[in-house]
């Protein structure tokens, strides 16, 4: 975590996120021996013929270094290196005749090309008709490509072998956490009317999104401005215990109040920050920050999102994918404290489809063997909801035990830095990252440099405060150096991955 006021222009360092045994890669310095040294042939001794700014001549058996150029006479005619003609072969070439011949062939070649394109188009149309048209009124399952009609999605019955059609039927929307259900009738998300709602239904809805029943907090009734329909609790008792069977689409909500659901107590911090400080001195300030270690060495940061689940960066676990190698430390400020603690073992690592060439999809999840005990020092951060928009230049914070300067050692004490979001257009400009920022990433930092995340901060949280709660908007991913001018930090876009996160929590 670099928080000095020094501005750097040197971008020779690449933020590699972490290095094993706390070592950081050294700068890539240009090597004087990067080009191979070729043997040098001495020129003729007497006289010397040297061409200025030209390489040494090649000496063949037809010419020796001791022979003067005046005495040297080539034994054969110079070779035409562009068009070699076999000796004795007679060619009667008429350029005018050849040009006319070429012109006659062009229509024929063009006709063949057009015919091939037409045939390819017909084949593609047939394949599309028989492969896609039969699913025009539905969607395909991920695993076996089975076509399931729209009316069967989110109907309470599993039609896809892997349950894809029932996996994303509920979501929380906006900073008020409005509960919404996907309507299979009009293929839209609808608010859930609070009439007839209960905590038991609330627990079931939270479970559908991957949360544990024992983390459930409750629900509120808030005024709804929905211009479309609602999902309303049925008055008759369904025979099934599936939550979907309790709800039906309705054009009216008598109370005009919708359900706002709280599946977990999150985003609250209890410590006191030092204004302008960079070293965290109170454990409760960032209670979701964890250290991910192998054999007692801090490699990456992470964020607590439930007592069982940790979010980190995929590049942290790509080469260390064995869950048994990792230990998670939560509720500590210094690495010295962690050295005396036991930590929490990891049961499972779930990595997204990470591309190390482009750094796309740089997010991963760790599930612990035992749940963390939630205290004032250990608290989940809130996952952002759909419909929450954090626009530049919004103020945000990044934390971790990363290096204090590019290429330096990891910090012994938790550090924090106040930075701001940078819009994607600016970050993709030629002067910054020249088009390398995709939808799976967000930029944050200061274009003038001086404050940034650094090696060892990877996987750690980028958080924003809204409605008195802290929301996880990014996981530290990559950057060119640390705190260099026009090279801000790049973070995994957590909002982009929401469906994937809830799917893994629900599955495992």
Kindly list the catalytic residues. Answer: 315, 362, 458
What are the Cα distances from residue 315, in Å, to 15, 27, 210, 329? 12, 20, 24, 19
Q: How far is CA 379 from CA 29, 178, 309, 364, in A?
A: 44, 22, 12, 19
Which of 260, 256, 265 shows the shortest CA–CA distance to 174? 260
Q: Which two tokens stand for residue 122?
A: 């017909």
H helix or E strand, kind and range, residue 201: helix 199-208
Give the whole-angstrom CA distance, residue 343 versus residue 363: 22
179 exposure class (CB count in 10 Å sphere: 0-12, 13-18, 19+): buried
Residues sharing a CB contact under 8 Å with residue 117, sequence separation 6 or more, in sequence order: none
Residue that has been written with the tokens 């562009």 in this structure:
82
Which phi-psi region, left, alpha or beta, contains residue 406 (left: φ > 0; alpha: ψ -120 to 50)? beta
DSSP states of 363-412 as a string? Answer: -EEEEESSPPPP-SSS-PPBPPPBT----TT-EEEEEES-BSSTT-PBPS
Give the single-character DSSP code of 193: B
Q: What is the DSSP letter of 20?
A: G
* Joined tokens for residue 210: 């991957």
Q: Residue ranges of the alpha helices (H) in 413-491?
A: 424-427
Number of other CB atoms surrounding residue 240 within 10 Å: 10
Counts of helices then strands in the chain (DSSP H, E): 6, 21
Q: How far apart are CA 147 and CA 486, in angstroms?
A: 48
CA-closest candidate to residue 397, choices 281, 285, 264, 283: 285
Q: How far apart are the C-alpha atoms of 114 and 449, rounded to whole Å?
A: 56
CB-CB contact of 407 with 24 (8 Å) = yes
Distance CA 313, CA 478 (A): 10
User: Using CA atoms, how far apart are residues 213 and 201, in angstroms rounded to an integer?
Assistant: 11
Residues 399 and 459 sit within 8 Å (Cβ to Cβ): no
């Amino acid at each position: 975590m670099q928080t000095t006021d020094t501005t750097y222009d040197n971008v020779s360092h690449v933020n590699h996120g972490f290095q094993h045994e706390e070592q950081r890669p050294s700068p890539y310095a240009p090597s004087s021996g990067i080009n191979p040294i070729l043997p040098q042939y001495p020129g003729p001794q007497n006289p010397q013929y040297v061409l200025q700014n030209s390489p040494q001549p090649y000496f063949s058996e037809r010419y020796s270094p001791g022979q003067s150029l005046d005495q040297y006479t080539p034994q054969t005619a110079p070779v035409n290196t562009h068009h070699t003609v076999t000796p004795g072969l007679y060619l009667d070439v008429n350029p005018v005749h050849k040009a006319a011949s070429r012109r006659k062939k062009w229509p024929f070649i063009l006709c063949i090309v057009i015919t091939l394109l037409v045939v390819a188009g017909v084949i593609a149309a047939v394949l599309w008709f028989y492969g896609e048209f039969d699913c025009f009124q539905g969607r395909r399952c991920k695993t076996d490509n089975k076509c399931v009609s729209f009316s069967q999605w989110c109907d309470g019955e599993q039609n896809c072998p892997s349950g894809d059609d029932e996996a994303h039927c509920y979501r929380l929307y906006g900073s008020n956490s409005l509960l919404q259900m996907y309507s299979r009738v009009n293929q839209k998300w609808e608010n859930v009317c609070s009439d007839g709602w209960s905590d038991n239904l609330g627990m079931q809805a939270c479970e559908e999104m991957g949360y544990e029943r024992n983390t459930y907090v409750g629900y509120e009734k808030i005024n709804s401005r929905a211009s479309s329909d609602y999902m309303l609790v049925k008055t008759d008792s369904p025979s099934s215990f599936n939550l979907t069977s309790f709800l039906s689409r309705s054009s009216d909500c008598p109370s005009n109040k919708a359900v706002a659901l709280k599946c977990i107590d999150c985003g609250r911090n209890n410590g006191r920050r030092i204004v302008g400080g960079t070293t965290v001195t109170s454990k409760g300030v960032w209670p979701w920050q964890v250290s991910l270690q192998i054999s007692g060495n801090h490699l990456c940061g992470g964020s607590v999102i439930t007592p069982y689940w940790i979010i980190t960066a995929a590049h942290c676990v790509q080469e260390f994918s064995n869950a048994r190698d990792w230990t998670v430390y939560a509720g500590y400020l210094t690495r010295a404290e962690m050295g005396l603690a036991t930590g929490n073992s990891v049961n499972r690592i779930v990595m997204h489809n990470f591309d190390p060439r482009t750094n796309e999809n740089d997010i991963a999840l760790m599930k612990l063997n035992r749940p963390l005990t939630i205290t004032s020092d250990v608290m989940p951060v809130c996952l952002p909801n759909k419909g929450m928009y954090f626009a530049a230049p919004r103020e945000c914070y990044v934390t971790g035990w990363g290096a204090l300067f590019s290429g330096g050692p990891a910090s012994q004490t938790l550090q924090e830095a106040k930075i701001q979001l940078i819009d994607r257009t600016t970050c993709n400009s030629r002067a910054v990252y020249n088009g390398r920022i995709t939808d799976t990433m967000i930029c944050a930092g200061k274009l003038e440099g001086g404050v940034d995340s650094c090696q060892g901060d990877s996987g750690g949280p980028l958080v924003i405060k809204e409605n008195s709660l802290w929301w996880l908007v990014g996981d530290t991913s990559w950057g060119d150096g640390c705190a260099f001018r026009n090279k801000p930090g790049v973070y995994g876009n957590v909002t982009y991955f929401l469906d994937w996160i809830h799917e893994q929590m629900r599955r495992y």
